[in-house]
Amino acid sequence: MATVEQIKKSCAVNPLKMSAPIGAALAFLGIDRCLPLLHGAQGCTAFGLVLFVRHFRETIPLQTTAMNEVTTILGGLENIEQALVNIHKRANPALVGIVSTGLTETKGDDVDGYLKLIRERHPEFAGMEVVYVSTPDFVGGFQDGWGKAVNAMVGRLAQPAAQRSAAQVNILAPCHFTPADIEEMRDMVEAFGLNPIILPDLSGSLDGHVPETFLPHTLGGTKVEDIRRMGASCMTLAFGEQMRAAAETLRLKCDVPCIMFERTTGLDATDRLLHALAQISGQPVPARYRRQRSQLQDAMLDGHFNFGGKRVAVAAEPNLLLELTSFLTDMGASVDVAVAPTASSVLETLPLENVVIGDLEDFENRAGNCDLLVTHSHGRQAAERLGIPLYRAGIPTFDRLGAAAKLSVGYRGMRALIFEIGNLFIEQQEQQHHTQHLRETCHEPQATCACH
Amino acid sequence: MSALKKQIEIVTSEPACEKNQAKSAGERKKGCGKQLTPGAGAGGCAFDGAKIALQPIVDVAHIVHGPIACEGNSWDSRHSFSSGSNLYRTGFTTDMNEFDVIYGGEKRLYKAIREVVEKYDPPAVFVYSTCVSAMIGDDLDAVCKAAKAKFGRPVVPINVPGFTGSKNLGAKLAGEALLEHVIGTEEPDDAGPCDINIIAEFNVAGDLWNVKPLLDRLGIRIRACITGDACYRDIATAHRAKAAMMVCSKAMINVARKMDERWNIPYFEGSFFGISDTSAALRNIASLLVQQGAPADLLPRTEALIAEEEAKVWARLEPYKARVAGKRVLIFTGGVKSWSMLAALKEIGMDIFGTSTRKSTGEDKARIAEIMGTDQHMFDELPPREMYRILKDAQADIMLSGGRSQFVALKAKMPWVEVNQERHVAYAGYDGIVTMVEEIAKSLGSPIWEQVRKPAPWESEEGSACHGDR
């Protein structure tokens, strides 16, 4: 149980937090033939777009209602209507995800009301689903926006079913699942003979592949029809607290029972997942995963030397922070500093004494004695100033290749993390030995340093 | 009329901007740049433009007064380099919450300025308004005035909320803020006859440092680069320069004209992209300075330097010529860069397939048509889908553009080189053109193209009824 400390200051320095609207937009980017539409000024979209382009190294379909001073005051009905007309004409997506911003929420636009009017005026939009989610910039952060968007999608699209499919399960994926994580998750579920509907599915749209055409909406991801069919699943598996609301909606609306998984990285967490899948499917755990479990045990045995006693500082959104700090403590490292950008009930459950709600300045001020920093790419300045290695985790990771291919779920995911982070510790240790050796030889007046 | 409205009207009636002058009074009222289209928009907001224009002032603390989106989603993403302070790379924001939106954010802003001054002790603080802080009526000017008096240093309000318009308008409004609050507020103790300002050069990837050594050799001092790698004091004393160069013609024309008007600093428009443009810029700087009273021998010295450097750069480009000659290039970038890059690429024997003209002035366009010999393939707009088709059909061999369209080219399996603000290498000056050509040659000559374009063996066998492995 951790005590949560909210840092009191008026100016956030080196923000750790990103806004809820772009978290919601990313959730929509996991839907096939979708175009997220930020209801705000052009910049609201442009900043998110650049951020995702740099992280995923992909074209990102993301549109704007391009609000200006006058339309802000008069209300955004016309802008939303015109945006939908243009989008319908140019992109004809299966789904438009409308995301509100600080601008339109301060004004108080009644988007649900607008959409009713627009639907009446434009029967030609019949084949284009529209889901609206309210995400003021000044409330919560990225993972909250993601959670709200997924909740809005199942709330609007999922249909109660007369008959349940015993082999179909819903997977509600949190925003810290990479495309590679989702692929791993799909493999695990399918290995039990189950058919997963994964929502959102970034592995279809943003896994980094070369499509044969170019279209102004997502190519790949969860199909809108599949979201409708989620009501017919026999079980929902929800990963991370941020997915609880959507899981609850599915339960209340479609009567689909739910299992919550707070964690997905780790031996215990994966055991629990595979055990649940075995029970749902009535199938034994496949030999492949028994082998992977043994491989992970071996990696833990090999790696624990390098983690033991190491001091680590971690800054991340609440759910990812739980995964990372739990992993590190599972391996014997000590998480001396944990910083989250926003409040969440998850924070109290961290396996630590203290967690701080703050920014990367708070992180940097506390991390001076640590052996390793773990946060997104914005931690690079702190790492440079402190002279401490940085392991990049989360969005944005713009200064390294392969953000979409990073794996941390399942046995293989934890093993990959052990190797990546363990190697950083080994490298650091070797450097320290080397510097120490140099220092000792240089201290003797007659000795020359050309001994290497 | 609000102060902001007045500012907008001032910049949109800029007499030195021929684009503005060509408009009717009604059109002018609508503001700079295209009217933004809902659902078909591209590009940043006015706040974005102001931040890009001012953030390169390296020792200033730039505080964004708004909810987290405006700074949290965008900080540490621009590549203006600094030779001194790194404070400009620190992200500061009031991160307004619901409470601030309801009760007003002025108190939080004031406290934020105090915290930043106490912790980081910057020579000046710039405070940016955003859509939300503007909508709820926070009085930025009043808070800045109070903070300035209390903390004994300039606290400059940048009133450019995003919904005001495009990035371009934002850059102009940022320029107005400098004119109103910064330029001319301090006196230099070392003003000289060969001091110049370089306006609207942002030292992206260190561009300025490719040029500065040339100026150093001529004894020309950059009084202020507005704003690349500048310190606050450089900008505050910029009014004592003798001449100025305007680099990015649309971004800060108002600054150049008004400095000419107020302090008699003549300016010219030029570019450091390409060999002949760099030479022309050096010539123009020298002749303006001489006209302003610098020693006349500056002219022959400049000519000598140009002759020497041009000979050197052509020799350095020679090895690349064979690798790039005849290759067709599609350029998609803004304003002055379009024509100055075109000229540079023509110089080394590349063919120009087409170029964008979306941010170019009439004059820019005329220059482009002259260089290309035709106005065919001058694109005011080029939607990504169309861009993809051109590249997929291999009508061009390589695209030069900003990061936004990078993946359009790469997904078409075509070479691409970054030429906008996100780039990591400097392209300005004589050294820069060599670097750019090297980048182009590296990209065109990469061994990956043949590999990634080749179909898988089974794909070529498809249809020929292959039963091989089955």
Whether B334 and B308 map to the same domain: the answer is no
Would you call B37 an interface residue with chain A, using a CB distance cutoff of 8 Å?
yes
Q: Are B38 and A83 in contact (CB under 8 A)?
A: yes
Last residue of a domain, one of B129, B157, B181: B181
How many Å lie between the alpha carbon of B110 and the closest alpha carbon of chain A? 9
Q: Which residue has the tokens 């000056």?
A: B429
Q: Which residues of chain A have pLDDT under 50?
A: 447-452
Whether B201 and B129 map to the same domain: the answer is no
> Structural domain boundaries of chain A?
20-154, 157-206+214-291, 304-414
Whether B272 and B333 map to the same domain: the answer is no
Question: pLDDT value at position A298?
Answer: 98
How many angstroms separate the CA atoms of B229 and B55, rounded? 10
Q: Which of A13, A29, A390 is the best residue to mutate to test the B interface, defined by the most B CB atoms within 10 Å of its own CB?
A: A13
Of A69, A138, A380, the CB nearest to B163: A69
For residue B76, pLDDT over 60 is answered with yes
Q: Side chain identity at A67, as an amino acid letter?
A: M
The B residues from 283 to 322 touching A (CB cutoff 8 Å) are none
Question: pLDDT value at position B110?
Answer: 98
Q: Is residue B433 part of a domain?
A: no
Confidence of residue B1 (pLDDT cuts 50, 70, 90): very low
Question: pLDDT value at position A451?
Answer: 42
Question: B69 vs A101: CB contact, 8 Å cut-off?
Answer: yes
How many Å lie between the alpha carbon of B297 and the closest alpha carbon of chain A? 46
Whether B126 and B244 map to the same domain: the answer is no
How many Å lie between the alpha carbon of A245 and the closest alpha carbon of chain B? 22
Question: A214 vs B385: CB contact, 8 Å cut-off?
Answer: yes
Half-sphere exposure of A349 (CA within 13 A, CB side): 15
How many angstroms separate the CA atoms of A69 and A59, rounded? 29
Supply the DSSP string of B224-285, one letter for each residue: EEEETTB-HHHHHTGGG-SEEEE-STTTSHHHHHHHHHHH---EEE---SSHHHHHHHHHHH
Question: A210 vs B413: CB contact, 8 Å cut-off?
Answer: yes
How many angstroms separate the CA atoms of A370 and A357, rounded? 19
DSSP-assigned letter for residue B43: S
Sort out which chain A residues have CB atoms less than 8 A from B96's CB and list them.
102, 138
How many angstroms separate the CA atoms of A165 and A233, rounded? 6
For residue B59, pLDDT over 50 is answered with yes
Question: pLDDT value at position B334?
Answer: 64
Question: pLDDT value at position A435?
Answer: 82
Helix (H, G, I), strand (E, B) or coil at A368: coil
Q: Is residue B430 part of a domain?
A: no
Question: B109 vs A139: CB contact, 8 Å cut-off?
Answer: no
Last residue of a domain, one of B155, B181, B207: B181
Q: Which of B131, B133, B405, B410 is the best residue to mutate to test the A interface, defined by the most A CB atoms within 10 Å of its own CB?
A: B131
Task: Tell me which chain A residue has its CA closest to the CA of residue B78.
Answer: A50
Sort out which chain A residues have CB atoms less than 8 A from B71's CB and list them.
12, 15
Q: Which of A214, A361, A381, A401 is the best residue to mutate to test the B interface, defined by the most B CB atoms within 10 Å of its own CB?
A: A214
Helix (DSSP H) and strand (DSSP E) numbers for chain A: 17, 15
Question: B92 vs A12: CB contact, 8 Å cut-off?
Answer: yes
Question: pLDDT value at position B403?
Answer: 78
How many angstroms separate the CA atoms of B293 and B76, rounded? 42
For residue B363, pLDDT over 50 is answered with yes
Q: Which residues constitute the domain of residue B360?
A: 325-424
Whether B75 and B118 map to the same domain: the answer is yes
Whether B301 and B357 map to the same domain: the answer is no
Sort out which chain B residues have CB atoms less than 8 A from A10's CB and list them.
94, 108-109, 111-112, 114-115
The CATH number of residue B344's host domain is 3.40.50.1980
Give the closest residue to A227 by CA, choosing from A162, A163, A150. Answer: A150
Whether B308 and B398 map to the same domain: the answer is no
Whether B120 and B245 map to the same domain: the answer is no
**CA B328-B330-B331 angle, 5° bins:** 135
Confidence of residue B249 (pLDDT cuts 50, 70, 90): low
The B residues from 107 to 166 touching A (CB cutoff 8 Å) are 108-109, 111-116, 119, 131-132, 135-136, 161-166
For residue B377, pLDDT over 80 is answered with no
Question: Which of these ranges, A263-267, A271-275, B274-278, B354-358, has the smallest mean pLDDT?
Answer: B354-358
Question: pLDDT value at position B381?
Answer: 77
Supply the DSSP string of B178-209, one letter for each residue: HHHHTTTSS--S---TTEEEEEEE--BTTHHH
Tell me if A20-154 shares its fold with A157-206+214-291: yes
The CATH number of residue B227's host domain is 3.40.50.12380
Query: For A406-450, what is the HEC assignment?
Result: CCCCHHHHHHHHHHHHHHHHHHHHHHHHHHHHHHHHHHCCCCCCC
Q: Which residues contact B400 (CB under 8 A, 6 or more apart)?
A: B329, B330, B331, B332, B333, B341, B416, B417, B418, B419, B440
Question: A103 vs B407: CB contact, 8 Å cut-off?
Answer: no
How high does pLDDT run on average in chain B?
89
Question: pLDDT value at position A2?
Answer: 94
Count of other CB atoms within 10 angstroms of residue B358: 19
Last residue of a domain, one of B249, B278, B313: B313
How many angstroms separate the CA atoms of B56 and B405, rounded? 24
Question: pLDDT value at position B466?
Answer: 47
Would you call B71 an interface residue with chain A, using a CB distance cutoff of 8 Å?
yes
Asked if CATH classification 3.40.50.1980 holds for the domain at A157-206+214-291, the reply, yes or no, is: yes
Of A14, A42, A138, the CB nearest to B101: A138
Q: Is residue B443 part of a domain?
A: no
For residue B344, pLDDT over 80 is answered with no
Whether B293 and B153 map to the same domain: the answer is no
Q: Can you name the residues that pair with A335 across neighbouring β-strands?
A: A312
How many angstroms separate the CA atoms of A44 and A28, rounded? 16
Question: pLDDT value at position B459?
Answer: 86
Sort out which chain B residues have CB atoms less than 8 A from A61's CB and list them.
none
Whether B348 and B379 map to the same domain: the answer is yes
- Between chain A and chain B, the number of residue pairs with CB atoms below 8 A apart is 218
Count of other CB atoms within 10 angstroms of residue B421: 15
Question: pLDDT value at position A7?
Answer: 95
Whether B164 and B291 map to the same domain: the answer is no
The distance of Cα A151 from the centroid of its chain, to the nearest Å, equals 15
Question: A17 vs B72: CB contact, 8 Å cut-off?
Answer: yes
Question: pLDDT value at position B274?
Answer: 85
Which fold would CATH assign to domain A20-154? Rossmann fold (3.40.50)
CATH architecture of A304-414: 3-Layer(aba) Sandwich (3.40)
Q: Is residue B466 part of a domain?
A: no
Structurally, chain B folds into a number of domains equal to: 3
Question: Which of these ranges, A226-230, B2-6, B425-429, has the smallest mean pLDDT?
Answer: B2-6
Q: Is residue B240 part of a domain?
A: yes
Give the closest residue to B42 by CA, choosing from B427, B356, B364, B399. Answer: B356
For residues B391-406, give the mean pLDDT.
88
Task: Tell me which chain B residue has its CA closest to the CA of residue A358.
Answer: B95
Task: Report CA torsion sign: A175, A178, A183, A189.
Answer: negative
For residue B46, pLDDT over 90 is answered with yes
Q: Is residue B147 part of a domain?
A: yes
Sort out which chain A residues have CB atoms less than 8 A from B77's CB and list them.
50-51, 54, 398
Helices B207-218 and B298-324: angle between axes, nearest 10 degrees: 140
Task: Tell me which chain A residue has its CA closest to the CA of residue B131.
Answer: A103
Q: Are A175 and A26 in contact (CB under 8 A)?
A: yes
Question: pLDDT value at position B214?
Answer: 98
Q: Which of A8, A9, A10 is the best residue to mutate to test the B interface, defined by the most B CB atoms within 10 Å of its own CB?
A: A10
